[in-house]
């Protein structure tokens, strides 16, 4: 309780899934949140559930106008903005022969350009309210490839590069930037996926387990962590399974 008492966070894609868990956990730790999403009904309901320290705003991360409004709302409602969680994302797939240019542009726009636009819109407020923290959501698919996930994997690799540049560029103005790389998390994005063959813990994570990491990175407890890629995957990328059965 109270680890984020002085923090105001803007969470993209915060209406459901991991973003909603981040909103609940940040406010449970005393912070305030602006939840931005294209899912208006879910976002409004979540803000109402959380109460006085939450607001919802319609935010399409591909819109500069929506980002400007979301940053302005954080400042008008809560007085500052010092945490940005770039969480919104989509996952589409297909064979390389069939993955269309429109599909490619769509996923790059949301998963990568959306984060760039969010950082650009929030930076003046983050600098003004420093110490501040940017948390960009990548994936284990930002570290290793997977057949058929061309746009998703490319976007999530690129998020790590973007984050490193920002970490260097804003360090002397009190803004840290880190990437988190979740493995398989139990959200609507991967409903029906069986992980028992490839995850050493043979389970998906609960979104709240990722939210605990977001709280740590949002807080000043992590004040010397910047430019890092932080895996949270139950050991999935640690290596391969046993050569011999026990």
CB of 5 to ligand NAD, least distance (A): 26
- Of 4, 7, 10, 16, the residue at the interface with ligand NAD (CB under 6 A) is 16
Identify the residue whose tokens are 């605990």.
212
The yes or no reply on residue 137 touching ligand NAD (CB under 6 A) is yes
DSSP-derived 3-state class of residue 61: coil
Whether the CA torsion 17, 18, 22, 24 is positive or negative: it is: positive
Rg of the chain taking only CA atoms, in angstroms? 18
Stretch that binds ligand NAD, among 27-35, 60-68, 124-132, 160-168 (CB under 6 A): 60-68
Stretch 192-231 residues interacting with ligand NAD (CB under 6 A):
none
- Strands 83-86 and 229-232, bridge-based pairing: unpaired
The yes or no reply on residue 39 touching ligand NAD (CB under 6 A) is yes
Residues 6+ apart with CB under 8 A from 103: 92, 94, 151
Quote the DSSP letter at residue 206. P
- Of 15, 33, 125, 213, the residue at the interface with ligand NAD (CB under 6 A) is 15
User: Is 152 among the residues known to form the active site?
Assistant: yes
- Of 4, 7, 9, 19, the residue at the interface with ligand NAD (CB under 6 A) is 19
**What is the separation of C-alpha 217 from the centre of its chain, rounded to a whole number of angstroms?**
11
The yes or no reply on residue 25 touching ligand NAD (CB under 6 A) is no
Stretch 151-190 residues interacting with ligand NAD (CB under 6 A):
182, 184-185, 187-190
Active-site residue among 56, 67, 78, 152? Answer: 152
CB of 31 to ligand NAD, least distance (A): 19
Show the DSSP H helices in the chain as ranges.
17-28, 40-50, 64-78, 101-108, 114-128, 150-170, 207-218
- List the x/- string, 73-102, binding to ligand NAD by CB under 6 A: --------------xxxxx-----------
Q: Of all helices (H) and strands (E), which one includes residue 35?
A: strand 32-37
- Footprint on this chain of ligand NAD (rule: CB under 6 A): 12-13, 15-19, 37-39, 59-62, 87-91, 110, 137, 139, 182, 184-185, 187-190
């Amino acid at each position: 309780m109270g680890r984020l008492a002085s923090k105001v966070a803007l969470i993209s894609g915060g209406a459901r899934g991991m973003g909603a868990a981040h909103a609940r956990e940040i406010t449970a730790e005393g912070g305030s949140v602006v939840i931005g999403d294209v899912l208006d009904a879910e976002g409004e309901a979540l803000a109402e559930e959380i109460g006085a320290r939450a607001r919802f705003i319609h935010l399409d991360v591909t819109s500069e106008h929506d980002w400007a409004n979301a940053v302005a709302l954080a400042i008008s409602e809560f007085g500052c903005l010092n945490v940005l969680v770039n969480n919104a994302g989509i996952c589409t797939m297909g064979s390389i022969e069939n993955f269309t240019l429109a599909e490619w542009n769509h996923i790059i726009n949301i998963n990568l350009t959306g984060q760039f636009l969010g950082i650009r819109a929030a930076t003046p407020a983050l600098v003004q309210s420093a110490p501040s923290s940017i948390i960009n959501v990548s994936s284990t698919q930002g570290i290793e490839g997977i057949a058929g996930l061309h746009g998703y994997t490319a976007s999530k690799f690129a998020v790590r590069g973007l984050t490193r540049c920002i970490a260097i560029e804003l360090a002397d103005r009190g803004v840290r930037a880190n990437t988190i790389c979740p493995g398989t998390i139990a959200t609507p994005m991967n409903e029906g996926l069986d992980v028992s063959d490839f995850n050493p813990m043979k389970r998906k994570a609960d979104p709240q387990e990722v939210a605990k990491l977001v709280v740590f990175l949002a807080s000043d407890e992590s004040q010397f962590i910047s430019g890092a890629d932080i895996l949270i995957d139950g050991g999935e990328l640690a290596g391969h399974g046993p050569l011999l059965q026990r």
